[in-house]
Amino acid sequence: MKVFFVKLLESINLIKNKLTFKKKINYQKEFKKIALISTKPLGIGDLIMSTPFIKTMRENFPNSKLHLITDKDLFDKIDELNKIHIVNGDLISLKKEFSKLSEEKYDLAIIMNRGVNQYYYAKALKPRFFLGYFGGFQILANFKLKNHLKFNKTEHFSYMALNIASSLDLKLEKSLIEPKFSEQTKKSVEKFVKSLNLDKKKTIALNPFVLWESRRWDEKNYIRLIEKLNDKFNLILYGGPDAVELNYKIEKQSKYGVHNITGKLNLKESIYFLKYVDLFITSDCGPMHFAFMMKTPTISFFGPVNPNQRLPLIQGKNKAFWDKPKKMYNYESKYIDDELNGLNKIKVENVYKEINKFFKEGRF
């Protein structure tokens, strides 16, 4: 019923948009203040994968004011943005938050990723112009676009936002943003790292928890990997409050020493902490994207989602293991779906070999 209702609203918006007269405008002249929207149900990783679009907009609109409106409090500062508005709450509360922000008097509101609710938040902003995904996977606007495009579900997720830039015929920037952190965040993490009393060995952080079973590498694999790595590296169990139970279980079942920092850092601190890690091991989830953003070398595990749709467009030192299932996630199916469960074919021995290769050769 939920899927049906969303598609119905998108179809109505699509028909209304097609029947609406669209004026040809000068983008540079009209778009002096722009709101970029990314809220629920979009995840943390979705926002990070959309940051090349933020860089693209700054590159192409150097004199415009760019504001990000989001419920994801990830960044103290981003050089490409003039302001970040953090909004929170359910659908009704968020709409009220957006209504308050109408005082900003935006020229353009951009719905960066597919999410019909984002359109109704954008309407509450009362901008002069709308652009983005409010009619399914097609890019719509209430003004004339230079190119009529839509998102192909086999494309890299970053192109969901970047295709919006292409619809305006803009030059694309494909690298992730480099977030800035406050001195308070930096000092807090530095103090925390010192308290771990790590020795001179290289440091590997492991992030076993992910909400979806379809993306989770079994805890027994992590225990076996810890046993193989123990004498060569400083090992850290990493994760937020939702990972406490699983990581505690892994810590207790492992025969070897491991630093369990799960839930001990706030969100921004946990991102900045990855600056002190030599290798990060994780499933396809939000923390994986933290590591990409911080340029931390990463081994990632993929199940029903093709890694070529999630790894950074401009590659760093990253290695993906993909347990390709018979059924693939296609932006329509649910993440929590037994038929999509994978990762059973990813062997501890193969991961261990890649780790040793990386530290020996400096690359995967």
Q: Give per-residue pLDDT as tens, 23-39.
A: 999 999 999 999 999 99
- Mean pLDDT (the chain) is 94
Residue 343 falls in which region: left (phi positive, over 0), alpha (psi -120 to 50) or beta: left
Question: How many other CB atoms sit within 10 Å of the CB of residue 8?
Answer: 11
- Give mean pLDDT, residues 122-137: 96
The DSSP line for 228-247 is: HHTTTSEEEE---GGGHHHH
Task: Kindly list the structural domains of the chain, giving each domain's residue range(s) and its CATH number in brackets, ordered by start.
Answer: 2-167 (3.40.50.2000), 183-361 (3.40.50.2000)
Q: Residue 239's pLDDT is what?
A: 97
Residue 335 pLDDT more than 70?
A: no
- Give mean pLDDT, residues 163-180: 97
Q: Residue 336's pLDDT is what?
A: 58
Q: Residue 258's pLDDT is what?
A: 95
Verdict on whether the full-model pTM lies above 0.85: yes
CA 92 vs CA 32, 119, 247: distances in Å: 29, 13, 36
Q: Residue 120's pLDDT is what?
A: 93
Q: Residue 224's pLDDT is what?
A: 96
The DSSP line for 199-238 is: -SS-EEEEE---S-GGGPPPHHHHHHHHHHHTTTSEEEE-
Nearest CA to 50 out of 196, 159, 182, 201 is that of 159
pLDDT range class, residue 334, cuts 50, 70, 90: low
**Poorest-confidence range of 60-69, 157-166, 206-215, 241-250?**
206-215
- As a whole-number percent, the residues of the chain with pLDDT over 70 amount to 98
- Give mean pLDDT, residues 217-225: 96
pLDDT range class, residue 221, cuts 50, 70, 90: very high
Q: Residue 115's pLDDT is what?
A: 86
Nearest CA to 141 out of 107, 102, 172, 173 is that of 107
**CA angle, residues 177, 182, 184, in degrees to nearest 5:** 150
Q: Residue 271's pLDDT is what?
A: 98
